[in-house]
Amino acid sequence: MGPKVRFLHTADIHLGRPLNSGGQEPPPSLADLFRGAGYRALKSIVDQALKHEVDFILIAGDLYDREARSVKASRFLLEQCQRLEKKDIAVYIIAGNHDFRGRKREPFTLPENVFMLGSKEVETEEYTSPGGQVGARIMGQSYRSRFESRKMYSYYTAPDRASLNLGLLHTQLDPQNKNYVPVKKSDLRAKEDIHYWALGHIHEPQILNRKLPAVVFSGTPQGRDVGETGLKGCFLVEMDTTNKPDIKFLPTSPVVFRKIFVDINSSSGRRPQNLSDLEELLYERAETILKEDPRETVNFFEQDKAKILLPEGGSPVQGYIVRWVVKGRGPVHDLIAENRTEVTAEIISGLNDMFAEQDPFLWTHSLLFHTGQQLPGIDELQESNQLYKEIAGVVEDALQDEELKKELLASWGRIWEGSSDHEAGDPDKFYPDQETVEDLLAEAQQKIIGELFAEGEEE
């Protein structure tokens, strides 16, 4: 059993990229926060590294963001690395699809504690413990272009297992996806040389294998879009060559994205009769959210809060950016449908006026209405109406049947032909992820039912 090594695993920092706070202009204080949240997260990572006296930090790609390249970001990174240098904490970095050019043509030269692993082949850096022995081997290979189809994981080979072997890899972990290192989880688990796979690219933190070799996505330390919901952070890992690693989550994101569903159905409590009632319902819900412990949004430790270590000053979370989805059927739908655009804008303004300046704040990114007309006999319809069943069947099939789904998505038009990584695709197209498809089909179904079984038109 080699010596224990303590390190931080992070990735997808996308330094310099501001948060997507939606269509409304935030007040100056929040605007600053939204621009600087990524910087704060990185600073928080460094603070935590110093606090926990880690041996080194692993950054599994996309430290930079070629789409948000700036001198400030470069300078900020330099300053943070200098802080680490003072405490002899090394930083091992690979480039991902967003920073495939790595350190080329950056304005500032990083200090000597920073190791950028190359893209030509898998490179190995050795971490020597204070005792003088090799504490860990860090292996990694950077992207050489925006897309990386090389199956580079197969070249992560270590001379022995006496030292801790850590693999830094930026991948979608999808063998079909040729853009982001095609590989599957089992391939990584099969690599016996490696003790810990420090993965990057997927922004959701995930511990895919807790035993050796551990397979872990650290996720991004700060979500940047409503698609990246929940508390974000990095992993503090303590491990040796034989035992399964001790992994703890260190929250770093000052801003947490959330998607909140509000049901206007009578069955779900109070039923808003007018827009004021609806606003009140949303405000109450917002109050509840603001009172919640942000750790509730972490779902990979099976709610074991002990594994989530807050920084000294408490939770780093300063507030939330929320996408509201109002669903269900009720009388308020007609009022919404009458002037959906104005109602949406008005409610968003009201929410932001009320909660933007609070501490913690709540900023409304967007408000979606998946509502339908009031339909008294809906239960009976669901039970016995053939047409209703027929419609539900088609919806169900569209979600399950790939062919039908493909046909459906084709009908959604070119605008939905975006890439899952929207930076890689056209910026004016969107990617229809499963959740989106489900949401939109549900809304469509809602409308159809309204059209067929309720009075009047849905839109």
Partner 1 sequence: MKLKKLYLRDFGIFNHQRLPQIAPGIVVIGGFNRSGKTTLLNILRYLGYGFPRDGSLPSPAHEYDVEADLVSENHQEYRVNIRGFGEPVVTCLSEENKAKKDIRELYGGLDKFTYRQLFTLSLDELQQKPPGVTRDKEQERLYSVLLGAGLSQVMRLPEIARRYFRRARDLGGKHGRPGVGEFKHYHKMIARAEKKKKQALQQVDEYLEVESQIQDIKEELQELENKIQDYQEKSTRLDVLKNNYESFSQLKKIEREKKEHQGKKFAQDKYASENVQQAENYCQQYEIVCREYGDCVQEFMTRVKPRDREQTKNNLLQNQDLLKKHVSRLAGYREKVNNYQEQQDEQELKYRQLELEAGEINFYWQDNLEEITEIRTDKIEKGKLISQIQEVQDLNQQLERIIENKKQLLEEKNVLQTHLQQEKEGQPEQVLKKTFLLGTAGILLGAAGSWILLPVGLIIGFGSLIFTLIYYLSFYQEELQLARDRQQLKEDLEIVTGKIEEKDKEIKNLKNKLRPAEQVLDHYRDLLGLPQDESQAGELIKDYFVSIKQLQQRYHEWQLGQKKLNQKKEKLQEELATLLVYLTRLEDNFCDDRFALPPETDIIDYSADLFSALDKVAEYLELARELEEKEYQKKNIEQEVKDFFAELDFSVNDDITQTLYRYLNNAELAAEYKGLKEDYKAIYRQLVETLSSADRIKTAFLAYDNHEKEFNLQASVEEEKLLRNFAELCQQFTSREEITTRHQQVTAELKEFKQNRDSLKDQLTSLNKKKEELSSPQKIEDAHQEKNQARSELRTLAERYAVRKSVSFILNKVRERAISRARKDLLQPAGKLLQEMTAGEYQKIEPPENMGATNFKTILRKNKQQKDVGSLSRGTREQLFLAIRISRIREIEPALPVVLDDSLVNFDHLHLQQASEILSRLGESHQIFVLTCHPHLVDYISSSSSGAQYWQLEQGNFSQTSAEKLSAYLSGTGQKK
Q: Which strands sit side by side in the sheet containing 206-209, from one edge to the other?
A: 123-128, 134-140, 164-170, 196-200, 214-217, 206-209
411 interacts with partner 1 by CB under 8 A: yes
366 interacts with partner 1 by CB under 8 A: yes
395 interacts with partner 1 by CB under 8 A: yes
71 interacts with partner 1 by CB under 8 A: yes
Q: Which stretch binds partner 1 (CB under 8 A): 195-203, 235-243, 307-315, 406-414?
A: 406-414
The residue (of 402 and 459) whose beta carbon lies closer to partner 1 is: 459
What x/- string results for residues 329 through 358 when contact with partner 1 is judged by CB under 8 A? ---------------x--------------
Contact residue for partner 1 among 50, 78, 368, 399 (CB under 8 A) = 368
261 interacts with partner 1 by CB under 8 A: no
16 interacts with partner 1 by CB under 8 A: yes
Strand partners, 216: 198, 207
Closest by Cα among 10, 38, 62 to 421: 62
- Beta carbon of residue 441, minimum distance to partner 1 (angstroms, whole number): 6
78 interacts with partner 1 by CB under 8 A: no
Three-class SS string for the chain? Answer: CCCCEEEEEECCCCCCCCCCCCCCCCCHHHHHHHHHHHHHHHHHHHHHHHHCCCCEEEEECCCCCHHHCCHHHHHHHHHHHHHHHHCCCEEEEECCCCCCCCCCCCCCCCCCCEEECCCCCCEEEEEECCCCCEEEEEEECCCCCCCECCCHHHHCCCCCCCCEEEEEEECCCCCCCCCECCCCHHHHHHCCCCCEEEEECCCCCEEEECCCCEEEECCCCCCCCCCCEECCEEEEEEECCCCCCEEEEEECCCEEEEEEEEECCHHHCCCCCCHHHHHHHHHHHHHHHHHCCHHHHCCCCCCCHHHECCCCCCCCCCEEEEEEEEEEECCHHHHHHHCHHHHHHHHHHHHHHHHCCCCCEEEEEEEEEEEECCCCCHHHHHHHCHHHHHHHHHHHHHHHCHHHHHHHHHHCCHHHCCCCCCCCCCCCCCCCCHHHHHHHHHHHHHHHHHHHHCCCCCC
The residue (of 121 and 435) whose beta carbon lies closer to partner 1 is: 435
86 interacts with partner 1 by CB under 8 A: no
Q: Which stretch binds partner 1 (CB under 8 A): 60-68, 185-193, 272-280, 326-334?
A: 60-68
Contact residue for partner 1 among 192, 273, 414, 435 (CB under 8 A) = 414
251 interacts with partner 1 by CB under 8 A: no
d(Cα 65, Cα 71) in Å, to the nearest integer? 12
Any idea what the Cα angle at residue 341 is, between residues 335 and 343, rounded to 5°? Answer: 45
The residue (of 208 and 444) whose beta carbon lies closer to partner 1 is: 444
Tell me the number of residues near partner 1 by CB under 8 A.
66
Residues numbered 106-125 forming contacts with partner 1, rule: CB under 8 A: 106-107
377 interacts with partner 1 by CB under 8 A: no
456 interacts with partner 1 by CB under 8 A: no
Contact residue for partner 1 among 29, 51, 67, 133 (CB under 8 A) = 67
The residue (of 309 and 391) whose beta carbon lies closer to partner 1 is: 391
Contact residue for partner 1 among 127, 320, 443, 454 (CB under 8 A) = 443
d(Cα 172, Cα 150) in Å, to the nearest integer? 13
Please, what sign has the CA dihedral across residues 23, 25, 27, 31? positive
Contact residue for partner 1 among 3, 4, 6, 20 (CB under 8 A) = 20
Contact residue for partner 1 among 4, 66, 83, 144 (CB under 8 A) = 66
33 interacts with partner 1 by CB under 8 A: no
Contact residue for partner 1 among 4, 43, 52, 68 (CB under 8 A) = 68
The residue (of 134 and 444) whose beta carbon lies closer to partner 1 is: 444
70 interacts with partner 1 by CB under 8 A: yes
364 interacts with partner 1 by CB under 8 A: no
The residue (of 147 and 430) whose beta carbon lies closer to partner 1 is: 430
432 interacts with partner 1 by CB under 8 A: yes
Q: Which residues bind partner 1 (CB under 8 A)?
A: 16-25, 31, 35, 66-75, 105-107, 225, 344, 365-366, 368, 386-387, 390-391, 393-395, 398, 404, 407-408, 411-416, 426-430, 432, 436, 439-441, 443-445, 447-448, 451-452, 457, 459
